[in-house]
């Protein structure tokens, strides 16, 4: 991948004040630190000229969807970048999950973490499959393979691991559990584009992996997703399912849906792919700045990325411990008052969201770590929309709020 400029029209948000004492805080009546909301997932935009050139070609061709040349080019680029045989681009990550789950023949019960975006659980429930929630490792926030093993029953038909925050899940250990029980294993890799596991690019782990290229992901196609796999037969089934099962004009040979990526999304993907190294460099720099500014603030810490692996650093995960001088929710409230729209991803955990809470009122009994982690995480703004000055101000606000709480 070659580095290319980030869209030149982009001006990162600058703070409007410095904060050194409680009286400087918006919750104490001072003006907010940012004039406009600073989001956690402000979209990154690559070279607009490249995007517009692709869009111009698209209009000339009058070919907007249905496996067009830009989608094919995009899929080819992803196969090369990820070192995987097949990439099937989709309209979004959720439909990509649903199609992959079906193509793997999952049914009955499937084991997933509760600590993930709701789409992982919904992709199962939407097709009449019961998501069975297993607990996570509090140090990594990823599925705990031992907990997965404990949740397997005769109705279990598969396991879905999630590479949360751009940190790979323990793929080898999960594969061992899956193999021991003859179960298919797939990964929700929505957060892990460009990351590695044991030095190998995420994309070919398990039977298949699913990416999201939503606007808020560090690499986006407006909306979009993809399934990647080295399994030829599975790839063929997924391709058919993405396009109503059509194997040619008037010839449907498989059940299917409409999961196609459109050409304009592939154009955005091709333009943004060139900027990936630069965006990752910015994210990594932001992550290091947050870690350095907050290193001596008691009771809070930034979750490090996996040692020895490449990460996209797309999420800055702040953990507020139980003995910090302030609660996580009070800190989020103080940040929101400053127009810093930090998020409590993925609180309260899928199992405590209404549909699943009603299905499994006692799920929390086997998810103590999920509950603890979900109650202490705050996601902070990063990406190309956040300047070094903004990060310094965000961290000084966190410092003052924590000390004031204390």
d(CA 385, CA 315): 13
- Tell me: does residue 102 bind ligand T4K (CB under 6 A): no
What 3-state class would DSSP assign to 297?
Answer: coil
- Tell me: does residue 259 bind ligand T4K (CB under 6 A): no
Residue 31 CB, shortest distance to ligand T4K, in Å, is 21
The residue with its CB nearest to ligand T4K is 93
For ligand T4K, the closer of residues 214 and 352 by Cβ is 214
- Tell me: does residue 121 bind ligand T4K (CB under 6 A): no
- Tell me: does residue 195 bind ligand T4K (CB under 6 A): no
Query: Which residues within the stretch 171-190 sit at the binding site for ligand T4K (CB under 6 A)?
Result: 188, 190
For ligand T4K, the closer of residues 38 and 297 by Cβ is 38
**Rounded to 5, what percent of the chain is helix, strand, coil?**
40, 15, 45
d(CA 87, CA 226): 6
Query: Which residues within the stretch 293-352 sit at the binding site for ligand T4K (CB under 6 A)?
Result: 341, 345
d(CA 353, CA 406): 32
**Which of 94, 207, 311, 382 is close enough to bind ligand T4K by CB under 6 A?**
94
- Tell me: does residue 168 bind ligand T4K (CB under 6 A): no
What 3-state class would DSSP assign to 31?
Answer: coil
For ligand T4K, the closer of residues 169 and 297 by Cβ is 169
d(CA 88, CA 259): 10
- Tell me: does residue 93 bind ligand T4K (CB under 6 A): yes
- Angle (CA) 359-365-368 rounded to 5° is 120
Q: What does each C-alpha distance from 137 to 141, 246, 354, 357 come to in angstroms? A: 5, 43, 24, 22
- 158: which strand partners? 110
Q: In this structure, are residues 157 and 109 in contact, taking their beta carbons and an 8 Å threshold?
A: yes
For ligand T4K, the closer of residues 117 and 360 by Cβ is 117
**Which of 26, 33, 34, 41 is close enough to bind ligand T4K by CB under 6 A?**
41
Q: Which of 108, 155, 161, 157 is nearest to 134 (CA)?
A: 161
Per-residue binding string, ligand T4K, 45-84, x by CB under 6 A, is ----------------------------------------
- Tell me: does residue 165 bind ligand T4K (CB under 6 A): no
Sign of CA dihedral 158, 120, 211, 378: negative
Residue 345 CB, shortest distance to ligand T4K, in Å, is 6
DSSP string covering 346-360, please?
A: TTT-GGGSHHHHHH-
Residue 224 CB, shortest distance to ligand T4K, in Å, is 7
Residue 179 CB, shortest distance to ligand T4K, in Å, is 24
Contacting residues toward ligand T4K, per CB under 6 A = 39-43, 92-94, 116-117, 119-120, 162, 188, 190-191, 212, 214-216, 225, 341, 345
């Amino acid at each position: 991948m070659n580095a290319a400029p980030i869209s030149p029209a982009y001006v990162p948000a600058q703070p409007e004040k410095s904060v050194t004492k409680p009286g400087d805080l918006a919750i104490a009546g001072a003006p907010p630190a940012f004039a406009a909301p600073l989001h956690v997932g402000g979209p990154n935009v690559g070279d607009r000229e490249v995007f517009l050139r692709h869009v111009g070609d698209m209009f000339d061709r009058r070919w907007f969807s249905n496996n067009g040349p830009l989608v094919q080019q995009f899929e080819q680029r992803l196969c090369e970048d990820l070192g995987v045989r097949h990439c099937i681009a989709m309209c979004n990550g959720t439909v990509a999950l649903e199609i992959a789950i079906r193509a793997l023949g999952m049914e009955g019960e499937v084991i997933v973490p509760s600590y993930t975006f709701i789409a992982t659980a919904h992709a199962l429930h939407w097709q009449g499959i019961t998501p069975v929630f297993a607990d996570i490792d509090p140090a990594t926030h990823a599925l705990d393979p031992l907990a997965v093993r404990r949740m397997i029953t005769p109705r279990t038909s598969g396991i879905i691991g999630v590479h949360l925050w751009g940190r790979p899940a323990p793929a080898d250990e999960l594969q061992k559990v899956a193999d021991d029980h003859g179960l298919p294993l797939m990964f929700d890799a929505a957060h892990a584009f460009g990351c590695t596991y044991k030095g190998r690019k995420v994309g070919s782990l398990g039977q298949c992996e699913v990416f999201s290229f939503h606007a808020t992901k560090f690499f986006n196609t407006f909306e979009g997703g993809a399934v990647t796999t080295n399994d030829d037969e599975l790839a063929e089934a997924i391709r058919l399912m993405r396009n109503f099962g059509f194997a040619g004009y008037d010839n449907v040979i498989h059940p299917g849906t409409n999961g196609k990526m459109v050409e304009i999304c592939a154009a955005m993907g091709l333009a943004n792919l060139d900027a990936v190294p630069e965006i990752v460099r910015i994210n990594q720099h932001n992550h290091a700045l947050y870690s350095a500014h907050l290193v001596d603030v008691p009771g809070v810490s930034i979750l490090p990325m996996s040692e020895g692996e490449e990460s996209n650093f797309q999420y800055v995960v702040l953990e507020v411990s139980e003995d910090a001088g302030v609660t996580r929710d009070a800190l989020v409230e103080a940040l929101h008052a400053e127009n810093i729209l930090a998020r409590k991803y993925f609180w309260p955990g899928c199992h405590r969201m209404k549909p699943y809470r009603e299905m499994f009122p006692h799920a929390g009994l086997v998810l103590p770590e999920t509950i603890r982690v979900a109650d202490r995480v705050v996601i902070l703004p990063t990406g190309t929309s956040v300047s070094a000055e903004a990060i310094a101000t965000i961290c000084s606000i966190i410092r003052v709020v924590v000390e004031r709480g204390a």
